[in-house]
Amino acid sequence: MKLKSLIRHETFLALMLVTALIVLAFQSDRFFTVSNLLNQGRLMTEVGLIAIAMTFVIATGGIDLSVGSILGLVAILTGVFWNNIGLPLPFAAIAAIFVGTMAGFGNGIIITRFGVPPLIATLATLALYRGLAEGISQARSVRGYPDWFYVLGQRDVLGVPTQLWILMAVAVIASVILAYTTWGRTVYAIGSNEVASRFSGLSVEKTKLALYTLSGFAASVAAVIFVSRVSTTRSDMGSGIELDAITAVVLGGTSIYGGRGTVLGTVIGLCLIQALKNGLSLAGVKGDGTIMLIGAVLILAILASNIFERSGTRN
Amino acid sequence: MTVNQASIGATPSRSGFLRRIAVEYGQELIVFSAIIALFIVVSIVNPRFISANNLTTIFAGNAYIAVAAIGMSMVIITGHIDVSVGALIGVLATISGSLAVAGYPIWFAWLAPVLVGMAINSFIGILVAYARIPSIVVTLGAMSILRGGLISVTGGDWITDLPSGFMIAQKRFFDIPAPLIFMVVLTVLAALWMRHTPFGRSLYAIGGNKEAALATGIPIARRTVMVFAIHGAFAGLATILFATQLQVIQSTVPPNLELTIITASVIGGVSILGGTGTVIGSTMAAILFATIGSALIFVNVSAYWLRAVIGLLILATVLADMWRRRAKS
């Protein structure tokens, strides 16, 4: 029964995506072209990486609001390590990613060791990590990166944007892990019933710690890609990206209460949001109108899925 | 997650008055002590910190956050959350300011945000209570709709030439700044209401244990809608203070306002799991944030470090709270 309703939501979402693509293709000649769609994939990558990690976190019944701040912190640190401290750029990026991953690990420790609810823990670190980014940067941006660095964010490999390869690889690996490994099942088990999972001998704390660390890592990698794409670092980078990611995850059918959700759903959710954003702006709708529509789509999608699910589970 | 506990308080106990206060208002006491400690330390470093002028700035300038946090606390105590309140306040401020500039009576420009706030949030409440969509999802969507709607209507233009009678946040009654009166009166009324009326108590019951609340005959769905409506009214009141602070209204959503308001509620002792907390705590937390912000300036810390310090303090408060709860159980 559960599987059935899952399939339902994703089918429904995929239909919505196809409808949106068809309608948008008729609105503008420039929408349904290979180069435009690939470019949208480029713009989708940072949110995408974060949203995939967030799918796991939300599937355990948790949430990570600090990802946008971790992104900002890692972006700033990449610039500072390279420009002010003088590390070679690859090492600077790796060091910054390491710090960002540790920031995620810190979230995990606060949540698992101290028992702070994830929403509060990451709300606090959202302020803390963004604050660190602002304090370290002192509102100065770092520019002028070497040319090879832009391969990551602005160039193509085999005709496809570099970062889109990364996103696709991560999506495939993550969906296999979540759907087919014991560890993935553990994630669902924790989200369905944490107490029962603990009594069943699952390592609840270790799994959660790993997930928040991974979430930090995903945000850190997204940060380096972001810097490479826009050629600069600023401390306000990625602010609000947590809400975009959560929207994609929830739209993708992951239950905010945990226990349910797939990476595929999240990816379809992401594509739908990006298609709407881009297609509508090409069709002449202003960005603000698009934001409104995404909000409405989010509510309607969950409403529709609730109605289907209830009619499906009644008997 | 830990099991919810509906600590509705007022447990008869033979221990002393102080002990009862310490048990029932533990988190509020921690926040209060933090404010006092901060005042003492910063005043030693820079005595001008406790000048009447600065105190006015601290309390009056941030009263709207405390007022909005009252409604937010009620929503969270009932077991829900609202991330759209920042966008809502932005929208309501624009409505209120536009009415005032367009020449409508001042009282109408003040009343409108309260009514519109109640209407919008009732709708959110209905989606939460009757359509059974989780509140974080509804309000996430509502945030996008309100934010997008605001910018597409105003185009980001500022509202200027506000009539002077409109600026209630700049007024003083008996030499006390109006926002301060608003904050104290609303907090006290809300605290009394939540503690001593059946409706107020039922919020704790709903947030603490839904099944039990249902079994005792509390109309959960209707109450949920009403809590959201009340929250909308407080957002409207907060808007009045926010919109009349400066001579202009920037028709944008104040960045991260919803997070500041949620954080004030949570730091003030409202459990994000629902069922516990008071609005006295949330108001004190709002004062604490304002005090920290001002204190940093007076001890010459770069403003860029402000958020990091606030984040650290939030974290410290949360950890202290967890430690206190464990020590109690």
Query: What separation in angstroms does the CA of B51 have from each of B39, B41, B70?
Result: 11, 15, 28
Please check whether residue B307 is in contact with residue A130, taking contact to mean a CB–CB distance below 8 angstroms: yes
Q: How far apart are CA B308 and CA B293, in angstroms?
A: 11
Whether the Cβ atoms of residue B242 and residue B179 lie closer than 8 Å to each other: no
Buried b (16+ CB within 10 A) or exposed e, A298-313: bbebbbebeeebeeee
- pLDDT, residue A314, reads 36
- Please report residues of B whose CB lies closer than 8 A to that of A288: 147-152
Instruction: Choose among A131, A139, A302: nearest Cβ to B306.
Output: A131
- Residues of chain A with Cβ-Cβ distance to B263 below 8 Å are 123-124, 127
What DSSP assignment string belongs to B24-61?
A: HTHHHHHHHHHHHHHHHHHHHH-GGGGSHHHHHHHHHH
Q: Around Cβ A139, how many Cβ atoms within 10 Å? A: 11
CB within 8 Å of chain B, chain A residues 211-230: none
A113 — contact with chain B (CB < 8 Å)?
Answer: no
| Per-residue confidence (pLDDT) for residue B328, from 0 to 100 | 65
Q: What is the DSSP letter of B2?
A: P
Beta strands B176-177; A160-161: pairing state:
unpaired
Q: In this complex, which of B81, B145, B304 lies closest to A138 when CB atoms are compared?
A: B304
| Torsion, CA B2, CA B7, CA B12, CA B15, rounded to 10 | 60
Question: What local confidence, expressed as pLDDT, does residue B272 receive?
Answer: 64
pLDDT at A248 over 80: yes
| Residue B7: predicted pLDDT | 43
- Which class is domain B27-328? mainly alpha
Whether residue A131 and residue B81 make contact (CB cut-off 8 A), yes or no, is: no
Say whether B1 and A117 touch across the interface (CB within 8 A). yes
Whole-angstrom Cα distance, residue A121 to residue A204? 18
Percent of chain A with pLDDT over 90: 38
What local confidence, expressed as pLDDT, does residue A69 receive?
Answer: 93
Once rounded to an integer, what is the mean pLDDT over residues A114-129? 87
Between chains, do A114 and B322 touch, taking CB under 8 Å as contact?
A: yes
Which one of B147, B304, B328 would you mutate to disrupt binding with A, by most A Cβ within 10 Å of its Cβ?
A: B304
pLDDT on residue A41: 85
**Closest to B320 in 3D by CA, of B10, B3, B2, B33:** B33
Q: Is residue A196 less than 8 Å (CB to CB) from chain B?
A: no
pLDDT at residue B99, rounded to an integer: 87
A113-122, A151-160, B6-15, B170-179: least confident range: B6-15
Q: Taking the domains of chain B in order of start, what are their residue ranges?
A: 27-328
Question: A160 in helix, strand or coil?
Answer: strand
> For residue B312, what is the nearest residue in chain A, using CA coordinates?
A128
Domain ranges of chain A: 46-271+297-306
Burial of A168 (0-12, 13-18, 19+ CB in 10 A): middle
Q: What digits encode the pLDDT tens for the residues A257-303?
A: 888 889 999 999 999 888 888 887 777 777 677 778 878 887 887 78
The helix (run of H) or strand (run of E) holding residue B250 is strand B249-250
Reduce the DSSP state of residue A216 to 3 states and report it: helix
Please state the ipTM of this predicted complex: 0.78
Report CB contact under 8 Å: A131, B273: no
**Cα distance between residue B140 and residue A296, in whole Å:** 10
Q: Model confidence over B183-228: pLDDT tens digits?
A: 889 998 988 888 888 888 888 888 777 788 888 878 888 889 999 9
**Mean per-residue pLDDT of chain A:** 86
Nearest to B273 among A117, A256, A292 (CB): A117
Please enumerate in sequence order all residues whose Cβ is within 8 A of that of B20, keeping only pairs 6 or more positions apart, or say none. Answer: B13
With an 8 Å Cβ cutoff, are A130 and B307 in contact? yes
Query: How far is A125 from B312, CA to CA, in rounded Å?
Result: 8
Residue-level pLDDT at A291: 77
Q: How many CB pairs under 8 A join A and B?
A: 148
Tell how many helices (H) and how many strands (E) occur in chain A: 13, 2
pLDDT reading at A1 higher than 70:
no
- Lowest mean pLDDT, pick from A75-89, A168-182, B260-274: B260-274
Of A115, A291, A306, the CB nearest to B144: A291
Interface test with B, best of A241, A260, A276, A298 (most B CBs within 10 A): A298
Give residues with Cβ within 8 angstroms of A197, minimum separation 6. Answer: A186, A189, A190, A204
Rounded Cα distance between A75 and A100, Å, is 9
Q: How far apart are CA A184 and CA B272, in angstroms?
A: 27
Calculated CA dihedral for residues A306, A311, A314, B4, nearest 10 degrees: 10
Sign of CA dihedral A310, A312, B1, B6: positive
Cα(B33)–Cα(A233) distance, integer angstroms: 39
**Whose structure tokens read 């909308």?**
B232
Q: Which of A233, A260, A254, A262 is nearest to A298 (CA)?
A: A254
pLDDT at A315: 31
pLDDT of residue A312: 44
* Residue B167 dihedral angles phi and psi, to the nearest 5°: -80, 70
Q: Searching chain A, which residue's CA lies closest to the CA of residue B134?
A: A256
**Substitution target from A57, A70, A123 for chain B, most B beta carbons within 10 A:** A123
Give pLDDT tens digits for A253-269. Answer: 888 888 888 999 999 99
> Between chains, do B145 and A295 touch, taking CB under 8 Å as contact?
yes
Q: Which residue of B has its CA nearest to A137?
A: B304
- A284 in B contact zone (CB under 8 Å): no
- Provide the pLDDT confidence category of residue A2 given band limits of 50, 70 and 90: low
The crossing angle, in degrees rounded to 10, of helices A89-112 and A67-83 is: 150
> Measured between CA atoms, how close is A285 to chain B, in angstroms?
10
> What average pLDDT does range A14-40 have in this prediction?
84
Q: Which residues of chain B lie closer than 8 angstroms to A134, CB-CB?
A: 304-308
Taking the C-alpha atoms of residue B17 and residue B102, their distance in angstroms, rounded to an integer, is 55
pLDDT value of position B22: 64
Question: Mean pLDDT throughout A170-176?
Answer: 94
Q: What is the residue-level pLDDT of chain B in tens, covering all 329 positions?
A: 333 444 444 444 455 766 666 666 677 787 888 888 888 888 888 888 777 777 777 888 888 989 999 999 899 888 888 888 988 998 998 898 888 888 888 888 889 999 999 999 999 999 988 888 888 888 888 888 888 888 878 777 777 777 777 777 777 788 778 888 888 899 989 888 888 888 888 888 887 777 888 888 788 888 899 999 999 999 999 998 888 887 777 777 677 788 888 888 887 777 766 677 788 888 888 888 888 878 887 777 777 887 788 788 778 877 877 776 677 66
A292 and B322 within 8 Å at the Cβ level: the answer is no
pLDDT given for residue B3 in this prediction:
39
Name the closest residue on chain A to residue B301, using Cα atoms.
Answer: A135
With cut-offs at 50, 70 and 90, classify the pLDDT of residue A144.
confident
